[in-house]
A and B are shown apart, each in its own frame.
Chain A
Amino acid sequence: MTRDTKERIAVAFKAQASEKCIDKITTDDIICSAQVSRQTFYKHFADKYELAFLIYRQEVYAPANDYFRESGDFAGMLQMVLEALSRDGAYYSNLFRRGYVPNPFMTKLHELCLSSMAASVGIRNLTPSLKAVIDVWTSGTDALLAEWITGGAREKTQQIVDIIERSIPAELKEHFVKD
């Protein structure tokens, strides 16, 4: 029953966020549309940004990450992420933000991407320096994805995957698991 409720909330939220910017959506909007109580909402989610992040993690990240862990295919993983994003294009183009104004969703997304990128490069021991270097690459990737999705996902996913792969910091190249 809990899963059902969470799904209702997620579906309602996605529908709303496909129409308007997440900053303009209130908890009231969500609970009305999902027909759940405020108490129920806050039982599952701290706020709408956490909700958005959990949706992302479940729908976009998890399948791609599972695939990567089985196959070690970094490009394939990226491809899956991009395809999942473009399937919900209207929703993600409202959600992704460019610029420096911290958006709690983008912040969480960045952390997730960073650990994912680090894993893909096969780094087990993430020293502060390695983390900082991967951080630069990840930030660049976030910006590219944001631009791509908010621009209507016009470029082919393969092209975007190419850019991300070729942007890998030279110093990490030796770690990079690739055929």
Chain B
Amino acid sequence: MIKNRSTRELLVESFIELSARNSFDKISVTDIINNCGVSRKSFYNTFLDKYDLVEYIHAKSLEDLQNQYINESPFFMAQNMVEYYRDHIAVYRSLSRSKHESIFQTIYRTSYNLTIKFILHKSGLKELPKDEAEVISLHVHGIVTKMMEWINNPQSADVKDIARYIVFSEPVCMQKRIGLKMPPEYSIHQI
């Protein structure tokens, strides 16, 4: 029911719909509010700007996924993450075509924070040592790049394969922290 939906949800849906037809750079706050009948005042009460809106979508979706699958195998979590990107392919394609570095930073930073959170939860640590955090940063850059490439060419690999690449590319320190044990049938040499 439209009545019961919050302003935030309306704006998110409006943005997602616009993304199907427009690149991120071409979508303005005016477009977003006109597409759902929310006032400008309400927009700015909810979000700082459209980058903030994107960060909200990305962070919330991935966080929900993480909470849901945190006790499942990393493959299963990775697979669900890839499926999430696939199900929102229009949005991420639109983002990937932006000429501005800031959107890339937004996605990377959100993904990085969530990855750290995941590792801390799994390992019981309060904080990661700086040198490990730097390694995770490199890894997340790699994953985000790979995902953005894939959503622009989803025929290049199927969901299961991408999920496997994500898990297989994890650095040693990360695998140790999350206690990942590879079942033999998942050996990289067998895919």
Contacts and interface: CB of A to CB of B under 8 A. Distances in A.
Interface string A100-143: 11000000000000000000000000010110110111111111
Interface string B26-57: 00000000000000000000000000000000
Interface residues of A, number: 29
A15 interface: no
Interface in B98-126: 98-101, 104-105
Specify which of B140, B141, B172 lies most central, judged by the most chain A CB atoms within 10 Å of its CB.
B141
Specify which of A98, A129, A130, A141 lies most central, judged by the most chain B CB atoms within 10 Å of its CB.
A129
B145 A139 contact: yes
**Chain B interface size, under 10 / 10 to 19 / 20 to 34 / 35 or more:** 35 or more
Contacts of A62: none
A11 interface: no
A166 to B, nearest CB: 5
Secondary structure call for the A interface: helix
Interface of A: 98-101, 127, 129-130, 132-133, 135-144, 162-164, 166-171, 173
23 contacts: A99-B101, A100-B145, A100-B148, A101-B97, A127-B189, A129-B165, A129-B188, A132-B157, A133-B165, A133-B188, A135-B142, A136-B146, A136-B166, A140-B138, A140-B139, A140-B141, A140-B143, A144-B138, A162-B131, A166-B172, A169-B171, A171-B169, A171-B182
Q: Which 3 A-B pairs have the closest CB atoms?
A: A140-B142, A143-B141, A136-B169
